[in-house]
Amino acid sequence: MNRQSLIIDCDPGVDDAVALMLAFGAGEFELLAITAVGGNVPVGKTARNARMLRQIAGREDVPVFMGADRPLRREPAGAGEFHGAEGLGDLTPFEPDAPCADGHAVDAIIDLVMTRPARSVALAVMGPMTNLALALRKAPGLAERLGPVAVMGGARSEGGNITASAEFNIWADPDAAAEVLASGCDAVLFGLDATHQVRATEQRIAALETIGTAKAETAASMMRFSQRIEREIVGWDAPPVHDPCPVAWLLKPELFELARCHIRVETESDLTRGHTAVEFREAVAGTLPHRWATSTDADGVFALIAAATGAAGTI
Q: How far is CA 118 from CA 29, 41, 185, in A?
A: 17, 33, 12
Catalytic, out of 83, 196, 242, 262: 242
Question: Between residue 102 and residue 131, which ones bind ligand BDR under the rule CB under 6 A?
Answer: 126-127
Q: Rounded to whole angstroms, how far apart are CA atoms 309 and 140?
A: 38
127 binds Ca ion (CB under 5 A): yes
Q: Which residues share a beta bridge with 264?
A: 277
Site mask for ligand BDR (CB under 6 A), range 158-197, x = bound: ---x-----xxx----------------------------
Q: Rounded to whole angstroms, how far apart are CA atoms 278 and 290?
A: 9
- 242 part of the active site: yes
40 binds ligand BDR (CB under 6 A): yes
13 binds Ca ion (CB under 5 A): yes
Pick from Ca ion, ligand BDR, none: which does 292 bind, CB < 5 to 8 A by kind? none
244 binds Ca ion (CB under 5 A): no
243 binds ligand BDR (CB under 6 A): yes
Cβ(12)–Cβ(88) under 8 Å? yes
Shortest distance in whole angstroms from residue 85 CB to ligand BDR: 14
Q: Which of 9, 16, 167, 175 binds Ca ion (CB under 5 A)?
A: 16
Question: Between residue 59 and residue 98, which ones bind Ca ion under the rule CB under 5 A?
Answer: none
174 binds Ca ion (CB under 5 A): no
Residue of minimal Cβ distance to ligand BDR: 168
49 binds ligand BDR (CB under 6 A): no
Residue 278, phi then psi, degrees to nearest 5: -105, 110
Which residues of the shown chain bind ligand BDR in the complex (CB under 6 A)? 13, 15-16, 40, 79, 82, 126-127, 152, 161, 167-169, 242-243
